[in-house]
């Protein structure tokens, strides 16, 4: 009998509390995957005609995925509020505003890939509130460093539907089995290889990178001979890096002076998973998980991967 996501309950101190929430993420993933597959028939591809808080054009599928995710978090009964890349403010779930946990989410990461039927993902992390349960949850509850994250993970909408997560006791991957309509443990105890793999970066920005990163990348390539792969969807690039080794990076550049990727929705959850898988997760000069967040939509430089490769870039 294959293991299902029920086995999260047996993982570490937080597994049993996190299992229903991660199962909710799994339900959201199944719904979002179905919406993605049928989008072209429902006229749901293309822009929504709105901008998110970062001034980026929202796609209709960004908005739909955000709604689906929020509803599934509401349905767990364990989540008091959701911070989303697609929402300016923290969304409080009124009927469960006394609940213990908050979720931070990028509901549809890499959505520029939608036009070309490329892979996309969902990225999430779960934190325990700091405010008293009798109070209304506050944005300050979300501003917790990655060291305080209880669980995190991502969903990859690729040829198969995968949910990879950690509750602080290793990283485990579950694949949706359509024959029985459930996620089954397919990748137990994922560990990033120490050597081999690929470097993954939008190299077209090289001349604009900060911190001499262009020269450091050239030196690392010469030393390791690593090949290059870049999807442009963080979940897909992270997943390959986790399985094959190497490094994924999105440095600061002259346009994105503090980096492009969001600390709370992208860097911390992926950093948590990467460290749990034995890899390294750095920003400029500091471990991603040691950054004290200052704002909901803060951006940071990101370097994720095998220890040797990340060290080669950041010294």
Query: What residues numbered 85-104 form the site for ligand AHM, per CB under 6 A?
Result: 85
From residue 184, give the alpha-carbon distance in Å to each of 13, 37, 179, 210. 22, 21, 11, 42
Q: Residue 90, Cα to own-chain centre: how many angstroms?
A: 18
Q: Give the integer Cα–Cα distance in Å for 120 and 196.
A: 24
**Contact yes or no for 296/83 (Cβ under 8 A):** yes
Q: What is the 8-class DSSP label of residue 20?
A: H
In terms of CB distance, is 52 or 76 closer to ligand AHM?
52
Query: What residues numbered 101-140 form the site for ligand AHM, per CB under 6 A?
Result: 106, 109-111
Q: Across the chain, which distance is largest between two alpha carbons, in Å?
A: 57
Binding track, positions 106-125, relative to Mg ion; x by CB under 5 A: x--x----------------
Q: Which partner in ligand AHM, Mg ion, none is near 56 (CB below 5 to 8 A by kind)? A: ligand AHM
Direct distance between the N- and C-terminal alpha carbons of the chain, in angstroms, rounded to an integer: 47
Does 202 engage in binding with ligand AHM (CB under 6 A)? yes
Closest C-alpha among 194, 283, 288 to residue 242: 194
Q: What's the alpha-carbon Rg for the chain, to the nearest Å?
A: 18
Contacting residue, 12, 27, 56, 216, with ligand AHM by CB under 6 A: 56
Binding track, positions 141-170, relative to Mg ion; x by CB under 5 A: ------------------------------
Q: Which partner in Mg ion, ligand AHM, none is near 158 (CB below 5 to 8 A by kind)? A: none
Q: Give the integer Cα–Cα distance in Å for 44 and 313.
A: 41
Contacting residue, 102, 104, 234, 270, with ligand AHM by CB under 6 A: 234
CA angle 258, 168, 79 (to 5 degrees): 80
Q: Which partner in Mg ion, ligand AHM, none is near 72 (CB below 5 to 8 A by kind)? A: none
In terms of CB distance, is 56 or 71 closer to ligand AHM?
56
Please report, as ranges, the residues that interact with ligand AHM according to CB under 6 A: 56, 85, 106, 109-111, 202, 232-234, 237, 250, 260
Please report, as ranges, the residues that interact with Mg ion according to CB under 5 A: 106, 109
């Amino acid at each position: 009998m294959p293991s299902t996501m029920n086995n999260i309950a047996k993982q570490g101190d937080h597994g049993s509390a996190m299992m229903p929430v991660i199962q909710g993420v799994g339900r959201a993933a199944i719904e979002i995957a179905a919406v993605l597959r049928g989008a072209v028939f429902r006229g749901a591809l293309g822009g929504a005609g709105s901008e998110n808080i970062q001034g980026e054009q929202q796609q209709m599928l960004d908005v739909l995925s955000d709604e689906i995710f929020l509803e599934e978090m509401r349905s767990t009964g364990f989540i008091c509020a959701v911070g989303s890349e697609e929402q300016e403010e923290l969304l409080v779930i009124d009927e469960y505003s006394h609940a213990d946990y908050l979720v931070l989410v990028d509901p549809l990461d890499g959505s520029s890939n939608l036009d070309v039927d490329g892979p996309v993902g969902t990225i999430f992390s779960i934190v325990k509130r700091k405010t008293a349960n009798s109070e209304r949850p506050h944005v300050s509850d979300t501003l917790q460093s990655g060291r305080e994250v209880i669980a995190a993970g991502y969903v990859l909408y690729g040829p198969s539907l995968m949910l990879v997560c950690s509750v602080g006791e290793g990283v485990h991957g579950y694949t949706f089995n359509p024959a029985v309509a459930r996620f089954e443990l397919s990748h137990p105890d994922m560990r990033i290889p120490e050597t081999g793999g690929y470097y993954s970066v939008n190299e077209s920005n090289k001349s604009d990178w900060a911190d001499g990163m262009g020269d450091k990348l050239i030196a690392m390539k010469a030393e390791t001979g690593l090949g290059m792969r870049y999807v442009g969807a963080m979940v897909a690039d992270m997943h390959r890096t986790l399985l094959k080794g190497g490094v994924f990076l999105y440095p600061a550049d002259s346009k994105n002076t503090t980096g492009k990727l969001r600390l709370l929705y992208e860097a911390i959850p992926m950093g948590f998973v990467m460290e749990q898988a034995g890899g390294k997760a750095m920003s400029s000069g500091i471990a991603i998980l040691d950054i004290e967040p200052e704002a909901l939509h803060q951006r940071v430089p990101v370097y994720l991967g095998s220890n040797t490769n990340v060290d080669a870039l950041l010294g």
